[in-house]
Structure 1
Amino acid sequence: MARLFGTDGVRGIANVELTCEMAYRLGQAAAMYLGKTIVVGRDTRYSGDMLGAALSAGIMSAGGTVLEAGIIPTPGVALLVREMRAAGGAVISASHNPPEYNGIKLFDSAGFKLPDAVEDEIERFITTGGLEGQVARMEEAAWGASQEATDLLAADATSYLASEIAMPSGGSLGVTVPLEQAREIYIDHVVRSIGEQGLDFSGLRIALDTGHGAAALTSPEALRRLGAEVIVINDDFNGMDINVQCGSTHLEPLRMLLAESGADVGIAHDGDADRVMIMCPDGTVVDGDMVEAVCALDMRERGVLAGNTVVSTVMANFGFVRAMREAGIEVVQTKVGDRYVLEAMREGGYAIGGEQSGHMILLDHNSTGDGLMTACQFLAAVIRSGKPVGEAVRVMEKMPQTLINVRVRDKHAV
Structure 2
Amino acid sequence: MTGDSPANLALLPAGLRDLLPPEAETEALSVEALMAVFAGYGYERVKPPLLEFEDSLLAGSGAAVAEQTYRLMDPATHRMMGLRPDMTPQVARIAATRLVRAPRPLRLAYAGMCVQAQPGGALVADRQVAQAGIELIGPDSPAADAEVMAVGAEALAAVGLARFSFDLTLPTLAATLIEEASIPEPARPALLRALDRKDAAEVARHGGPLARTLAELLLAAGPAARALAALRAADLSPGARALTERLAASVDAIVARAPGLRLTIDPIEFRGWRYHTGLCVTVYAPGRHEELGRGGRYLSGGDEPACGLTLRPEAILRAAPTPPPRPRLFVPDGADPALVSALRAQGFATVAALAPAADCTVEAVRLGCTHVLRDGAAIAVAGGN
TM-score range, shorter-chain basis? under 0.3
Greater strand fraction, Structure 1 or Structure 2? 2
Which has more radius of gyration? 2
Kindly indicate whether structure 1 or structure 2 has the higher relative contact order, using CA contacts under 8 Å at least 6 residues apart.
2
Give the structure with the larger helix fraction: 1
So what's the TM-score if we normalise by structure 2?
0.24
- Calculate the TM-score normalised by the size of structure 1: 0.23
